[in-house]
């Protein structure tokens, strides 16, 4: 019985929008909230300015003259030494002096182009993965890269084979070592993990038993015990207990450890595949190997990718543990250089520096992981 | 299909059919795997014993009786086991074990509260609080835990003052480079009764709550029990305490000429380790809590509001039961992670299992297999207990589905 | 405002305006509901129908205008809101049953904790209402063990336990499989015959034709047209309603 005329669209009432509303609803919506806001502001006030002051404002940046990418930049007349570097704030020249060791360890300086190349190859790897995203044969490309990368990097870093002068592994250190351990750890442990995951889901009781035992055992103990085992006991398992490369021991320990964790991630992916896929593959007559290689694993791995990246990030964090068995990763280098009698009492600068570097790397990795997750969620919308 | 079938079938088949029969294949495959694994073990263990003999390393567990011969940083473990360098290696094992459990226990408590707080703050409608909580998580999750341990240890060592200039809180609690000094509780005879009173208070509270629940069911009248509970749990022991003439004394630390004497010393290694582990693990627990609360469908809160429940009632009866079902399993997993990460104490010298037994004793005795075996066994048992707990919790909380 | 009729207005909405940020979601809504009236609100998606009824029990806040429910004015006062919510019940599109409680416990929750009834009383009442929606044999089961249609009937029974004067239905059958829609509509028809005031947002035009006293058509945040069922379908006056009817009725008949 009633027909209304067209109503006009209006803007909301003035005090309902804008900065005042925002402040009211988001920061001061109630008594309690108001107090919390003030408390947080106070907390920020007493923590951020002193930190900023120590790190930047009062810090010593007297690096002398520095050659950056071919440009000579003069920070100060001469580089500061421990006496005139100041005690109340950060002494960054200390870090600058030790920087080579933090990045390359004890790698001989004249050969530093080799680790540089490896760093470059690593970056290139990520770039290529991004570029071939829509390429038809991208899986083959990525697979061949993943196989080629460790081999090429090993030859570059270790030398030998009559190509390059040998650099023993005990000279590898700092960020370089972290990178080596992390990448080898991920690349080697992943196939093992996939096999373990398949084993755990196998119908053959023996295989299932041993896979489960292995996985559950490794996941129950701390990484440090595995590293100790690898470091002290592994050499004894071999013929004449030959002098086993220290780095190799750590790599084996880490690879086995990470394999168990990857196995659980992949198992989650395998469980998420609907039973119908298995049945369809069987119905068209594929063998176990064909079924897994062509149908099951591609799907399972695809859905697990965010978790695989997450697990890899954990591995990266865990590489710092090798310092406890005597390998000189970046953290170990910081500890070592702070014993330098010339630069006494500069551990804090070292830790802050390492923390910043690690944080940047790990944060970037987790951002990348989140982007992957979003991409996969939108791609998989049925 | 049982073994007999295979054999009877085998007899009547051609060779080719045998080769392709799935069950036969499965059987032989497993046998082959078993042979492989055992063969591997045989070789490895064989080499192990050969090498041990060649290097003159002892085997067996007799080393446990030997004298340890080194000092351990004073802490609860030493105290409970009366450790001296004359004690046996086995005692070192126990000392380490106790110290590990102390870190785990205190760490779990702190990290639960911290994680709960940060997780809820993350969801606050106060923009600043939510962002700060988010920042906390991003900051402490993306730094390796070992680095955090070193970092805090370094800061504490540098910040805590020299014993001569100890920071004092009302002359009861002191803080300096050597650690946190709390009054050492000295228990006298009557204290046992106070403890019993406390337990009785708890039991009475349980019965009282049951009584009031029943009353609520029958009459619809809801009584607030918080006051009564507090009275029973705290008041009852307090009364006994006073009646028995305060059977609890404290040995207060006293600032002597160079140093503090007496009191209970909590070494900075423990503080740094527990602090770092709690802060780090709290980020994961916060995320677990957040995902738990977010997992509760928005419609649930609306339905709760629509039928007239207050915010508190809605939280208690509808939101939290559902949120906790999602949040508790990963949280319990994090407790296990915290316990495992306590082994990193080796790096700063806190004498837990790996650093004292798996560290110094290992270096002295050299029997890595036995020592690491014992240590791993401990972690296995802890892990098993936590898994059982998890299973139990999951079963109890499961919401029945079709 | 019609006060001369023998039934008074149980809901009075005047000049209601709501914004989501900058988006003007409800524009100058004026609507009165008499006691015992059955109102159906329909319209294209995004027209604001759900937003409107959710304002009535304050699940959505509004910036301008006035709502009076059962003589109580709706403002941001916790006490008033609670009082209003005990008179107004809501049935949701996605049922929103509490999955961790049994069916019976879902129903007795509000009576016990909001109206301070005893457990016995609440249970008796609950079983009575479960009987009424024909689902009493599922009383001890859990929501996830029931079908969609069964869950929605439980949800209706849950609302009845608070003895509401007004029932709001927010697309109650939109999330159901076709064969379950009629079992829920049957319950709603029976409730309507019982004399309770109902506002239903729904696409079920059969129900509207059969039971509604008034049908309101909304589009783009405002009430475009309202009429009794016969004239609503036979003589739509506005263009927008004509367009809407042509779109939804072609598949039915």
pLDDT at B215 over 70: yes
CATH number among 3.40.640.10, 1.10.1740.10, 1.10.3720.10, 3.30.2290.10, domain A99-107+167-381 = 1.10.3720.10
Banded model confidence at residue A380, pLDDT cuts 50, 70, 90: low
Banded model confidence at residue C2, pLDDT cuts 50, 70, 90: very low
Q: What average pLDDT does range B359-379 have in this prediction? A: 88
pLDDT at B10: 57
Q: What average pLDDT does range C20-26 have in this prediction? A: 89
| CA B42/CA A252 separation, integer angstroms | 20
Q: What average pLDDT does range A344-367 have in this prediction? A: 90
Q: Note whether B302 contacts C114, CB cutoff 8 Å.
A: no
- Shortest CA distance to A176 belongs to which of A333, A302, A303? A333
pLDDT at A382: 46
Banded model confidence at residue B13, pLDDT cuts 50, 70, 90: low
Residue by residue, DSSP assigns C33-59 as EETT-EEEEE-STTSSHHHHHHHHTTS
Q: Note whether A3 contacts C27, CB cutoff 8 Å.
A: no
Backbone angles phi, psi at A184, to 5 degrees: -65, -45
Averaged pLDDT of chain C: 89
| CA C244/CA C47 separation, integer angstroms | 12
Nearest CA in chain C to B402: C145
pLDDT at C122: 92
Nearest CA in chain A to C224: A4
Do the beta carbons of residue A326 and residue A335 sit within 8 Å?
no
Chain B residues whose CB is inside 8 A of the A219 CB are 383
CB distance from C124 to chain A under 8 Å? no
The Cα-based distances of A218 to A181, A255, B10, B136, B381 in angstroms read 19, 11, 40, 30, 13
pLDDT at B65 over 90: no
In this complex, the residue of A3, A7, A16 whose CB is nearest that of residue C27 is: A7
Instruction: State whether the Cα torsion A4-A8-A11-A13 is positive or negative.
Output: negative
DSSP annotation of B399:
P
CB distance from B86 to chain C under 8 Å? no
Query: Can you give the C-alpha Rg of chain B in angstroms?
Result: 29
| CA C66/CA A76 separation, integer angstroms | 71
A-facing residues of B in 52-111 (CB < 8 A) are 52, 54-55
DSSP annotation of A17:
S
pLDDT at A298: 86
Annotated domain spans of chain A: 49-78, 99-107+167-381, 108-166
Backbone angles phi, psi at C229, to 5 degrees: -55, -40
Instruction: Name which of A5, A6, A18 to mutate to probe chain C: the one with the most chain C Cβ atoms within 10 A of its Cβ.
Output: A6
% of residues, chain A, pLDDT over 70: 96
pLDDT at C3: 44
- With an 8 Å Cβ cutoff, the interface of chain A facing chain C consists of 1-4, 6-13, 16-17
Q: Note whether C227 contacts A1, CB cutoff 8 Å.
A: yes
For C170-222, what is the HEC assignment?
Answer: ECCCCCCCHHHHHHHHHHHHHHHHCCCEEEEECCCHHHHHHHCCEEEEEECCE
Count Cβ–Cβ pairs < 8 Å, chain B vs chain C.
86
Q: Note whether C63 contacts A3, CB cutoff 8 Å.
A: no
In this complex, the residue of B220, B297, B400 whose CB is nearest that of residue C112 is: B220
pLDDT at C107: 94
DSSP annotation of A380:
T
Name the more confident of C193 and B72: C193
pLDDT at C148: 93
Averaged pLDDT of chain B: 85
A-facing residues of B in 364-383 (CB < 8 A) are 368-369, 372, 375-376, 379-380, 382-383
Give the contacts of B385 (CB within 8 A, at least 6 positions apart): none
| CA B209/CA B229 separation, integer angstroms | 8
pLDDT at B339 over 90: yes
Q: Note whether C109 contacts B307, CB cutoff 8 Å.
A: yes
pLDDT 10s digits, B73-101: 877 777 777 778 888 888 889 889 999 99
Helix (H) or strand (E) holding B194: helix B191-219
- Shortest CA distance to B289 belongs to which of B317, B319, B331? B331
pLDDT at C4: 44
| CA A172/CA B401 separation, integer angstroms | 56
Pairing state between β B248-251 and B260-261? unpaired
Q: Three-class SS of residue B389?
A: helix
| CA A225/CA A186 separation, integer angstroms | 19
Q: What average pLDDT does range B279-297 have in this prediction? A: 93
In this complex, the residue of C57, C110, C119 whose CB is nearest that of residue B309 is: C110
pLDDT 10s digits, A56-103: 888 888 887 777 777 787 777 777 777 777 778 888 888 888 899 999
| CA A54/CA B217 separation, integer angstroms | 63
CB distance from C20 to chain B under 8 Å? no
Chain A residues whose CB is inside 8 A of the C19 CB are 12, 16
Task: Tell me the sheet residues that pair with C16.
Answer: C29
CB distance from B327 to chain C under 8 Å? no
Q: Which of A244-258, B193-207, C63-77, C137-151 has the lowest mean pLDDT?
A: B193-207
pLDDT at B402: 67
Query: Can you give the C-alpha Rg of chain A in angstroms?
Result: 27
Averaged pLDDT of chain A: 86
- Shortest CA distance to A59 belongs to which of A32, A35, A86? A86
pLDDT at B2 over 80: no
% of residues, chain B, pLDDT over 90: 29
Q: Three-class SS of residue C17?
A: strand
Q: Note whether A41 contacts B340, CB cutoff 8 Å.
A: no
Instruction: Name which of C15, C16, C24 to mutate to probe chain A: the one with the most chain A Cβ atoms within 10 A of its Cβ.
Output: C24
pLDDT at B6: 65
Residue by residue, DSSP assigns C66-125 as EEEETTEE--S-HHHHHHHHHHEEEE-TT----TTS-HHHHHHHHHHHTS---HHHHHHH
Give the contacts of C203 (CB within 8 A, at least 6 positions apart): C42, C171, C174, C248
pLDDT at B263 over 80: no
Tell me which long-range contacts B390-398 makes (C-beta under 8 A, separation of at least 24).
Answer: B390/B329, B390/B332, B390/B333, B393/B328, B393/B329, B393/B332, B394/B329, B397/B324, B397/B325, B397/B328
CB distance from C175 to chain B under 8 Å? no
Nearest CA in chain A to B143: A359
Q: Which of A34-48, A318-332, B234-248, C126-140 has the lowest mean pLDDT?
A: B234-248
pLDDT 10s digits, B228-238: 888 888 888 88
Q: How far is B331 from chain C (nearest CA, A)?
A: 20
Q: Note whether C121 contacts B220, CB cutoff 8 Å.
A: yes
Chain B residues whose CB is inside 8 A of the C121 CB are 220
- Chains near A with 3+ CB pairs less than 8 A apart are B, C
Pairing state between β C88-91 and C166-170? parallel
Phi-psi region of A62 (alpha: psi -120 to 50; beta: other; left: phi over 0): beta
CB distance from B391 to chain A under 8 Å? no
| CA B36/CA B30 separation, integer angstroms | 10
pLDDT 10s digits, A124-153: 988 888 887 777 777 788 888 888 998 899
Do the beta carbons of residue A292 and residue A282 sit within 8 Å?
no
Chain A residues whose CB is inside 8 A of the B368 CB are 228-229, 232-233, 236
Beta carbons within 10 angstroms of residue B7's beta carbon? 9
Q: How far is C177 from chain B (nearest CA, A)?
A: 17
Chain B residues whose CB is inside 8 A of the C85 CB are 305-308
Beta carbons within 10 angstroms of residue A177's beta carbon? 29
């Amino acid at each position: 019985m009633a027909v209304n005329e067209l109503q006009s669209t209006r803007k909301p009432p003035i005090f309902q929008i804008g900065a005042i509303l925002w402040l009211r609803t988001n920061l001061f919506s109630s008594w309690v909230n108001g107090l919390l806001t003030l408390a947080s502001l106070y907390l920020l006030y007493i923590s951020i300015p002193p930190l900023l002051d120590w790190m930047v404002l009062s810090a010593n940046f007297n690096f002398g003259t520095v050659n950056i990418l071919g440009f000579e930049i003069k920070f100060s007349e001469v580089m500061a030494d421990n006496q005139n570097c100041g005690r109340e704030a950060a002494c960054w020249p200390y870090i600058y002096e030790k920087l080579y060791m933090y990045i390359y360890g004890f790698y001989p300086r004249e050969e530093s182009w080799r680790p540089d190349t490896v760093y470059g190859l690593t970056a290139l790897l990520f770039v290529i993965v991004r570029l071939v995203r829509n390429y038809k044969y991208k899986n083959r490309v990525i697979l061949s890269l993943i196989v080629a990368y460790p081999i090429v990097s090993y030859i570059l870093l270790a030398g030998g084979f009559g190509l390059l002068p040998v650099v023993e592994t005990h000279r590898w250190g700092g960020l370089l070592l972290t990178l080596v351990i992390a990448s080898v750890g991920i690349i080697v442990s992943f196939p093992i993990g996939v096999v373990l995951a398949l084993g755990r889901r196998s119908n053959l009781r023996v295989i299932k038993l041993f896979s489960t035992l292995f996985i559950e055992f490794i996941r129950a103990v701390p990484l440090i015990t595995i590293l100790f085992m690898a470091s002290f006991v592994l050499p004894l398992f071999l013929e004449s207990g030959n002098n086993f490369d220290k780095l190799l021991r750590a790599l084996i320990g880490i690879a086995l450890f990470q394999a168990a964790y990857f196995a659980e991630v992949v198992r989650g992916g395998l469980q998420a595949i609907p039973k119908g896929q298995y049945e369809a593959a069987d119905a068209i007559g594929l063998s176990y190997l064909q079924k897994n290689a062509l149908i099951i694993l591609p799907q399972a791995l695809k859905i697990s990718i965010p978790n695989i990246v997450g697990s890899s990030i954990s591995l990266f964090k865990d590489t710092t543990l090798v310092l406890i068995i005597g390998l000189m990763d970046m953290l170990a280098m910081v500890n070592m250089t702070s014993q330098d009698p010339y630069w006494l009492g500069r551990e804090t600068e070292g830790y802050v520096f390492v923390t910043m570097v690690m944080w940047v790397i790990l944060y970037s990795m987790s951002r990348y992981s989140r982007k992957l997750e979003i991409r996969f969620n939108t791609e998989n919308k049925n | 299909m049982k073994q007999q079938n295979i054999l009877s079938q085998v007899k009547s088949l051609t060779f080719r059919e045998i080769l392709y029969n799935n069950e036969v294949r499965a059987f032989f495959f497993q046998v082959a795997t078993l042979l492989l694994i055992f063969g591997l073990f045989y070789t490895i263990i064989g080499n192990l014993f050969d090498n041990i003999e060649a290097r003159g390393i002892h085997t067996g567990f007799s080393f446990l009786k030997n004298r340890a011969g080194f000092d351990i940083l004073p802490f609860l473990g030493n105290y409970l086991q009366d450790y001296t360098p004359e004690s046996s290696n086995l005692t070192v094992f126990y000392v380490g074990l106790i110290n590990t459990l102390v870190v785990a226990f205190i760490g779990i408590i702190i990290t639960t509260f911290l994680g709960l707080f940060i997780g809820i703050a993350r969801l606050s409608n106060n923009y600043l609080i939510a962002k700060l909580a988010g920042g906390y998580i991003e900051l402490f999750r993306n730094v390796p835990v070992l680095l955090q341990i070193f970092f805090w240890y370094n800061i504490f060592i540098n910040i805590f003052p020299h014993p001569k200039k100890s920071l004092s809180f009302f002359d009861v609690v002191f803080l300096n480079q050597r650690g946190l000094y709390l009054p050492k509780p000295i228990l006298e005879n009557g204290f046992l009764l106070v403890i019993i009173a406390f337990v009785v208070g708890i039991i009475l509270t349980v019965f009282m709550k049951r009584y009031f629940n029943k009353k609520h069911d029958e009459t619809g009248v809801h009584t607030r029990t918080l006051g009564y509970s507090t009275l029973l749990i705290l008041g009852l022991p307090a009364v006994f305490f006073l009646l028995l003439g305060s059977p609890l004394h404290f040995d207060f630390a006293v600032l002597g000429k160079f140093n503090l004497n007496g009191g209970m010393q909590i070494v900075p290694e423990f503080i740094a380790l527990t602090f770092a582990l709690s802060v780090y693990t709290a980020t994961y627990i916060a995320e677990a809590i957040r995902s738990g609360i977010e997992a509760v469908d928005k419609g649930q809160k609306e339905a709760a509001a629509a039928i007239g429940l207050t915010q508190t009632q809605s939280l208690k009866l509808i939101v939290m039961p559902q949120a906790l079902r999602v949040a508790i399993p990963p949280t319990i997993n994090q407790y296990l992670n915290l316990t495992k990460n306590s082994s990193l104490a080796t790096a700063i010298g806190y004498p837990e299992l790996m650093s004292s037994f798996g560290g110094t004793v290992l270096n002295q005795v050299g029997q890595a297999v036995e020592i690491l075996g014992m240590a791993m066994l401990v972690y296995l048992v802890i892990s098993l207990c936590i898994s059982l707990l998890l299973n139990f919790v999951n079963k109890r909380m499961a919401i029945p589905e079709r | 405002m019609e006060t001369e009729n023998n039934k008074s207005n149980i809901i009075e909405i005047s000049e209601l305006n709501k914004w989501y940020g900058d988006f003007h979601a409800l524009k100058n809504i004026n609507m009165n509901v008499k006691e015992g009236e059955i109102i159906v609100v329909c319209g294209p998606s995004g027209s604001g129908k759900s937003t409107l009824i959710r304002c009535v029990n304050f699940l959505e806040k509004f910036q301008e205008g006035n709502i009076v429910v059962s003589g109580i004015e709706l403002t941001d006062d916790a006490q008033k809101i609670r009082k209003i919510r005990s008179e107004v019940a809501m049935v949701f599109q996605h049922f929103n049953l509490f999955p961790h409680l049994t069916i019976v416990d879902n129903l007795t929750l509000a009576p016990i904790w909001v109206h301070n009834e005893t457990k016995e009383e609440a249970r008796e009442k609950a079983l009575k209402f479960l009987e009424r929606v024909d689902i009493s044999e599922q009383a001890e089961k859990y929501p996830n063990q029931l079908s969609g249609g069964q869950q929605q009937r439980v949800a209706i029974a849950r609302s009845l336990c608070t003895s509401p004067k007004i029932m709001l239905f927010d697309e109650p059958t939109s999330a159901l499989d076709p064969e379950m829609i009629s079992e829920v509509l049957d319950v709603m028809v029976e409730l309507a015959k019982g004399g309770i005031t109902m506002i239903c947002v729904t696409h079920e035009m059969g129900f509207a034709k059969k039971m509604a006293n008034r049908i309101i058509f909304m589009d783009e945040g405002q009430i475009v047209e309202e009429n009794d069922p016969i004239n609503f379908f036979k003589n739509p006056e506005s263009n927008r309603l004509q367009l809407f009817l042509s779109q939804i009725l072609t598949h039915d008949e």
